[in-house]
Amino acid sequence: MNLNLGGPGEAELGAMVAQHLATLGLVPIHQKVDAARGNVVAVLEGSAGPVLAFEAHMDTVPTSGSAQARAVRRDGRVYGRGACDTKGSLVAMLEALRLLQAVPADARCTVVFAATLDEEAGVTGIRHFLNDSHGISLAVVGEPTGLANAIAHKGLVRFRIRTKGSPAHASRPELGVNAVYAMAPVLEALQRDVLPRLATVEHPLLGHPTMAVTSITGGVAENVVPAECTIGIDRRLNPGCLMGATRAGSPLQVFRPSCSAPAASTTLTRMRSGLRSATSSAPPRC
């Protein structure tokens, strides 16, 4: 599981991938990304055609619902957290490298393999890998698509919206300003004003852009009026949408004119963003 999501990180899996690459006769390159983790890269040299990249991430999100951490084999399939997203493609790429070694070098293109980290949180692994382009012309990115070609991808921006009030003992709530109550009109405005607008925008391949409130925190104890409340927002953008346009149409600016909590303040912070490139000639509607 991703280190930033409370897991042990990708170091152990990276070591296994590196060992397997070595058994194939390839030289694993350890790209250090932070103190504890790194990407694992290998190059299969060829001289025919463009340079091709195989990329798959090693991390997963935490288990939830019926998902389980231990792999289970059933009816010729492997089930478990990360089997689909995206250990299956990672294994397939390693097998493809093995098979390509039987092809003469002058009849195959150069393949750059990258097992990257941190896709599920900060996308630091692929950013680090792309610091050196390796002359790559084409890339196959391992994600579960049912073997259908995916040629477009939504972008990603994540925000935190925070309402601030003032604390008081819960026996005298009138002496404070409840930040959780102040968040209620924010949530209402997002549902009333933002979601319907996004639903009017269509992309021929990706549908409409989306927004989801994915977390909410507030308060320190049941007997204290909360002085702060924070929600996390996941915002998916259509290809062609610029970061500046996203900020200009941010949820905060959309709801601020239509909701108010006189004694409370509202702030918005962009947590992280990663615009994934996409092939599209669609107009920049977000």
The percent of residues above 70 in pLDDT, for the chain, comes to 81
Structure tokens at 118: 């941190």
CA-to-CA distance for 121 and 276, rounded, in angstroms? 14
- Would residue 119 show up in a list of annotated catalytic residues for this protein? yes
Query: Considering only CA atoms, which of 60, 42, 58, 45 is closest in space to residue 126?
Result: 58
Which tens digits make up the pLDDT trace of 92-136? 999 999 999 999 999 999 999 999 998 888 789 999 999 887 899
Q: Are residues 176 and 100 in the same domain?
A: no
Given a cut of 90, whether residue 190 has pLDDT beyond it is yes
Which tens digits make up the pLDDT trace of 30-87? 999 988 889 999 999 999 889 999 999 998 887 776 667 778 889 988 888 888 889 9
- Residue 50: which domain range? 3-141
Element (H, E) at 16: helix 11-23
The per-residue b/e assignment along 149-160, b for 16 or more CB within 10 angstroms, e otherwise, is eeebbbbebbbe
pLDDT at 67 (0 to 100) = 66
Rounded to 5 degrees, φ, ψ at 91 are: -65, -40
Q: Are residues 160 and 132 in the same domain?
A: no
Element (H, E) at 243: helix 243-248
Contact 125, 57 (CB under 8 A): yes
CA-to-CA distance for 162 and 233, rounded, in angstroms? 11
Q: Is residue 281 part of a domain?
A: no
- Statement: the pTM of the whole predicted model exceeds 0.95: no
Number of domains, the chain: 2
Which entry of 10, 119, 120, 228 is annotated as an active-site residue? 119
Q: Are residues 212 and 106 in the same domain?
A: no
Would you tell me how many other CB atoms lie within 10 Å of the CB of residue 266? Answer: 20
